[in-house]
Chain A
Amino acid sequence: MEQVIANGLYLGAQYALIALGLTLIFALMNVLNFAHGQMYVLGGFVTYSIYGQLKLPFVIALICSGVTLAIVGALMEKFLFRTVIRRSKREESTMLLAAATAFFLDAVVLLLFGEKQRGVPKIISGVFVSDRVILPYDRILVGVVAIVMIATFMLFMQYSKPGRAMRALAQDRIAAQLMGVKVERYSMIGFALGAMLAGIVGGLLVSITGVNSGIGGPISIKAFLMVMIGGAGVVGGAIAGGFILGMMESVGLTVLRAYGDITYLVIFALLMIFLSIRPHGLMGKPWG
């Protein structure tokens, strides 16, 4: 059972990190970013190219993934989402734009990096073995990095000036504007930050699970699942959703093994019941 819990905690940490960027963009702009998974994939391929192909240090590759995606996110916000939000009164316009962006990024990634699964050398070799738990050191490292990044992100949102401005935006866009918050600037920073998180987690996990051009869609769906559990637009909710999903997956795959592949069936059934009772998720309210 200890192994199952360790697996769940590790999965939860990586899931939470994936969901953070998605929920941030939703909170700031009310945009369901369907391209979140594709941003993760792009981040993974940047790290693959720099660390796996050019053989530069992993940390540099990870920074490049973050910076590349931050730029992509900022450009997307400035030239696509901002324009559509300004011109369209219908909320689904941004959803359609996000879906189109996802397909576009899918095609770009396929063209640039090909169809194959790609992986990089392990960042740390070796496996921690005890009587009850077996955990490779690289997973332990990635789990710790994920938790440190989540903590850093929360501190940034809580205490930094841009963090406070973004929280204000998420609470009430018009009030924030009246209080002197530069809405456009912080929307762009928020979108870039969300995309950067997707890129970094993609880069981080390429060392464990590799990356291929077709995984963007499923990753987006899983991220939405976590956000729905925790409550859309709430950072704490995304983290809780990530850990809950990770733990449910790990426990379900062991406990329900005898009944076939019903783990996700059970998870979805529970989610439906849960959402009918708490449609806003666990912490479903804006920040503040």
Chain B
Amino acid sequence: METKSSSSSTNLVDQSVCPGDVILDLSNMTNQTIKLGGGLRQDCDAISVMKAGRLRFSKPNKYWVENSQKRYVPHAEDSVLGIVVDSRSDNFLVDIKGPALAFLPVLAFEGGTRRNIPRFEIGTLIYARVVKANPGMNPELACTDASGKAAEFGALKDGYMFECTTGLSRMLLSSPTCPVLDALGKKLSFEIAVGLNGRVWVSAASPQTTIVVANAIMNSETLSGAQQRIMVEKLLERIH
């Protein structure tokens, strides 16, 4: 969605906003386009907020509302952790914490043909990519990247999966590396898969390490970078 506007940035950027808040008045703006991301809508001559969260801006002209919630709204190209709930002849039904179950076609794997259809039991944890996410339709997943390679996608064996908010999963996937993962990675050896749908899978050599990593991640949501490092140090003191 594009709208005429000037380059003047709103003073609400990086501030908390609520439904109904007007972030931009377009009546006195001309000559430039702005792009509206999730959580914003044009209401006559104003850009208003539709959901609670933080207003973000990326140069040159994109605004969106970033928020943390328990439910997940599927978007194309998101990496998600899904649980197989049913198996059909043509596809698997996968729960990705969205409004509807997602379809994972049996051929959506690297070198997928009718002869080598994968066998997934109900309850299998899968790391997949959202291919299609249209409103009113069930999302479609694939266990390949855009070039058709398996990459990191596929079934996740062993390990421990826990659920968190979408905000925390976004923080864990942010660049530069999230302080909690950075601090844990320096002292412990573990494998982690984070889905943008608010699911995290951790696998380590010992259950003790797995529990420490999972607890550290779950506790880190409301902490600053420095607080996250202190928290990790205190957790590691107890196990060494």
Bind each other:
no
